[in-house]
Each structure stands twice: as structure tokens, then as C-alpha cells.
Amino acid sequence: MYLLSHFSTNLCVVQILFVLLWCIQSLEYANAATPTVKVGNISKVGDSAYFRIYYGQTFKVIKNTLDGKSYLLIQNNTRMASRTKYCTSRIKSFVIPLANYSIETDYFFPVSFFELLGLLGNLKGITSTYVASQCVLKLYQGGQVESINKTDHQQLAQYAAHFIANTDEAQPCNFATFVPIGEDAPLQRAEWIKYLGVFANMENRANQVYDAIKENYLCLSKAATSRNSLKPVVSWMEYKDGVWSFTRDPYKLKFVEDAGGVNVDDSINKVTYNMSNPDDLEEIHAILCTVDVVIDETYSSDPAVYNGSTFLGNINLEDQTCFAFLTNQSIWRYDKRVQNSVVLDWYDGAVSQPQLVLSDIIEALYPTGNYNTTYFRNIAKGEGIISIGPEMCERDSSIPMEPTVVACQ
């Protein structure tokens, strides 16, 4: 008992639940009352830090440390499915495979994970058209996916699961959080496909997609980081209310390292620069003199009109001679693919397929001139945006989307 007090209550509850479930199952097997359900194909989490999957005979448990919940997933053809229902602040149960689901799309939900699994056929509702997927837009336009009023809880309750990307919300019983963006590295984010695979008994597909993405990512990275040339210096930076800052999200810095570049951030300690302060201005210009590639993350309400001139105006450059990113024309933004000027595919497809992002950054760092980037555009060369619309969906949405494998020796 003394030892038990060292465990978090959460862990404790989950363990007790496990024991109970095993007992119930053993009894059921002993009675031969339930058709035997074989343990299906399983997914093992190897890279992600914030979720784990456990397998029983007729159920699975996902432990999500970002929302602090355990998801008990019960196979639909077992007796437990009709008898067991949990909805506490720590444990929720779902009957799987999910008969249908809806998504809260208001906060850049990465629907591409569902597309890679081939699950768009079961998507029945979205809370807004803030989606970057052309095929979800097409399903919506065609009426297969309906629009839901997210404040109407009765309407939300009709779906077997309602996926959300925001852990702060009050959560009715059928809500499940999906938060790959909580991870610190690109592959860790992509491995969350296994989290969704578990809800659909699609472990095999999830494993296969992740393996393909990881293998391609590591191959591209190995080739880029083993070059003998001097590593280009990259800065991720953004401008807001008169102030420039270098952004330091770990997964972004990791992309640069994996692409064979170095981050400017390692060498500086001041993070923000007020453009109305002459000292700050001089300092940031000095730093930028060491930078080869700029990634300008500045928010724009209309990415279509954000171009090289906008950047130069914000950074207030007069004498341009010392800036390598200007002489070499290398100023990039990740808003190349955008829907209705607001929804960037950077928060969707780029999360599930990091090998494409890596490949874009490698092209930015070591230009070949014959690779078309997916998410990044070079505003120093006047490259514009691609506006995503339903007419761009050329796939049959019921068929899984294949991950794009980039040529790698």
C-alpha cells in the first residue's frame, strides 16, 4: 500500500481496470459464452513520446499523456461491447471498429492521417470547412460529410467518436483527442497514425504507412547530412507587431538538422528584436548577415499577396550586400498550399508526411532546381501559393491515400 501511493492515481486506475477486464475476459472464455476473438495485428509505438498502446484479447487501451486519458477500445463483436461503458475524467470507452466519426475542424485538424488509412468513408461530419484536404472538401460539397453545429451536443452525440485536436475543451463522452502536434520531432508526430489505426483495427495499414514514411525520411536525411559541403545556416523567424523573433519549436529545428543545415538559434541568446529600436535593428541585421536561408513564418491574413517585398519591408533592409539569402534568393514560407487564404496544409499534410517537408527543406538548402516543393515556396523568386479546392481531388476517397515516397538513392 505504501508503494502504491507513489503511483499517480491515473496509472493506478488504469492498472486496476486492466486487472478487472482480464478477469471478466477469463470468465467469459471459461464460460465459452463469447465467440473467441483473436488478438489482431498490433502496432507498437517506437518513436512517439506521448501515447502508448496496450492489447488485450478483445480490447485495447491507448494511454494518451497529452490529454491525460486512457481510451478503452472494445471490439464490437464481444459481449463486453454492449455491457461496458466508461466515461470518466480519466477513462473513456469506445466500441471499435468505429461505425462512423466526426471531426472538429476548427483548429487545423490533420485529416490527412485518416486519408492515409483510407477512412474518409466513415467520416460523417465536420464542424467547419477549415480543412486543407481537397478530398474532404469534395465529400463535403457532395453531401457525404455534413456540417455540424459544435455547440449542439445532441447533434455531436450521434457519432461513434468525435475527434478533436484541442486538449483544453470540456469533453462529452464520445470525444477523443488526437494531438500529433504535441510531439517534439517530425517522425514522432507522424507515428500518431498508429493512434487512429487502433480505432479502426487498421494496425497493419498504420504500420505500413509509418514504416514507408520513416524509411524515406531517414534515407533523405542520411544523404543530406553526409554531404561534405559547408552546412547552410537557416533561421525560422516571424514578425508580429513591429517585433521580429526567431522561432524555436523543437520539430522545426530538427527538420533543419536532418536536412543537413544548422540553426541560427544555437549561437544567439536574444530572441526578440523590436524594429523601432536602432540597437535591435543593427543586431538582427548582423545576425542575418550569417544566414543563408530564411524561413519567414510571419502570419498573413492573405498569403496570396505576401511576397518578397512584404518581407523586405518588415525587416527594413537598406544595404543588401551582406545578405547571402538575398544574393542567393532563398526566402521561404510554408504557406504554399492554402485553402480559402486561411487553412494551411502545413498543419495537416505536412504533419502526417514529414518526409515531404524534409525534402522541401533539403531543396531550399541544397538547390537542384528540378524538384517541385510541396509545402514551401520561395518568395525571393516570386513563387506564389496554390489554392486548395474540392476540384483538385482526383482520388476515390474510399481508397487509402498512398504516402509520397521521394526519390532517394
Q: Which residues bind ligand NAG (CB under 6 A)?
A: 38, 40-41, 76-77, 97, 99-100, 124, 149, 151-152, 158-160, 204, 241-243, 274, 276-277, 292, 305, 307-309, 324, 328, 367, 370-372, 382
What is Dmax (Cα atoms) for the chain?
Answer: 84
Terminal Cα distance for the chain, rounded: 58
For 221, phi and psi rounded to 5 degrees?
A: -65, -40
Q: Which is nearer to ligand NAG, 1 or 279 (CB)?
A: 279
Residues 6+ away with beta carbon under 8 Å from 363: 371, 373, 376
Nearest to residue 95, comparing CAs of 124, 44, 51, 59? Answer: 59
In the complex, least distance from residue 308 CB atom to ligand NAG, rounded to whole angstroms: 4
Q: Which amino acid is at 135?
A: C
Least spacing, CB of residue 100 vs ligand NAG, in Å: 4
Pick 13 or 312: Cβ nearer ligand NAG = 312
Q: 377 pairs with which residues across the strands?
A: 333
Minimum distance from CB of 65 to ligand NAG (Å)? 27
Q: Taking the complex as a whole, how short is the minimal distance between the CB of residue 242 and ligand NAG, in angstroms?
A: 5
Q: Judged by CB, which is closer to ligand NAG: 261, or 354?
A: 261
User: Between residues 9 and 158, which has the closer beta carbon with respect to ligand NAG?
Assistant: 158
The number of beta carbons lying within 10 Å of the beta carbon of residue 260 is 22
Give 75 or 188: the residue with its C-beta nearer to ligand NAG.
Answer: 75
Q: Are strands 243-246 and 161-164 parallel, antiparallel or unpaired?
A: unpaired
Nearest to 315 by CA among 380, 242, 232: 242
| Cell numbers found for residue 353 | 508526411
Q: Are strands 101-103 and 123-126 parallel, antiparallel or unpaired?
A: parallel
Shortest Å distance, C-beta 212 to ligand NAG? 15
Phi/psi-derived region of residue 307, left when phi > 0, alpha when psi is between -120 and 50, beta in every other case: beta
Check: CB of residue 64 under 8 Å from CB of residue 73. Answer: no
Q: What is the nearest approach in angstroms of ligand NAG to the Cβ of residue 74?
A: 11
* CA 305 – CA 226 distance, rounded (Å): 38
Cβ closest to ligand NAG, residue 240 vs residue 248: 240
CB of 123 to ligand NAG, least distance (A): 10
The nearer residue to ligand NAG, 9 or 277, going by C-beta atoms, is 277
